[in-house]
């Protein structure tokens, strides 16, 4: 399989196998008007498997989404076919508009214009809770 190199754009590398499509969905990459390649189960140099997303355009990436889903991934900004910048997303302290509260009695169920905000309550276990009702967000399963 041949995927062309990127002259100017973004490569999200070292994504845990199986999370590439979820990252694509939460970053709303389907709405972009450029080429986006999702490579699943690619072999890494370490011999393990990974997913990779290549975006053939310079765009802003929500590092909070990446830090929530896969803080071990790497974001490479490509300029003139070379890595110009490299980011390692951190686990965010708060998430706004990324996940939704599933508690039917939460205020966000009645007030549709109220943002869904979650606070990190356990960094080791990566547990997020709704700031309004304290409901725990379900972690995405791979």
SS (H, E, C) the chain: CCCCCCCCEEEEEEECCCCHHHHHHHCCHHHCCCCEEEEEEEECCCCCEEEEEEECCCCCCCHHHHHHHCCCCEEEEEECCEEEEEECCCCCCEEECCCCCCCCCCHHHHCCCCCCEEEEEECCCCEEEECCCCCECCCCCC
Question: Do residue 43 and residue 59 come from a single domain?
Answer: yes
Question: Do residue 107 and residue 54 come from a single domain?
Answer: no
Residue 34 belongs to a domain with what CATH number?
A: 3.30.70.140
- The reported pLDDT for the residue numbered 1 is 58
| Number of structural domains found in the chain | 2
Question: Do residue 123 and residue 73 come from a single domain?
Answer: no
Question: Do residue 21 and residue 79 come from a single domain?
Answer: yes
- 19-63 per-position pLDDT tens digit: 999 999 999 999 999 999 999 999 888 778 999 999 999 999 999
Question: Do residue 57 and residue 102 come from a single domain?
Answer: no
Question: Do residue 18 and residue 71 come from a single domain?
Answer: yes
The pTM of the full predicted model, rounded to 2 decimals, is 0.86
């Amino acid at each position: 399989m041949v995927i062309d190199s990127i002259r100017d754009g973004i490569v999200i590398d070292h994504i845990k196998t199986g999370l590439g499509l979820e990252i694509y969905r939460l970053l709303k990459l389907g709405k972009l008007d450029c080429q986006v390649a999702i490579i699943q189960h690619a072999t890494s140099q370490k011999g393990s498997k990974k997913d990779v997303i290549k975006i053939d355009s310079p765009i802003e990436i929500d590092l909070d989404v990446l830090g929530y889903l896969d803080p071990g991934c790497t974001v490479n900004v490509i300029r003139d076919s070379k890595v110009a910048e490299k980011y390692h997303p951190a686990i965010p302290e708060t998430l706004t508009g990324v996940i939704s509260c599933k508690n039917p009695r939460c205020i966000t169920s009645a007030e549709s214009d109220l943002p869904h905000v979650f606070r990190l309550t356990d960094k080791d276990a990566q547990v997020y809770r709704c700031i309004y009702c304290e409901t725990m967000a379900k972690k995405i399963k791979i």
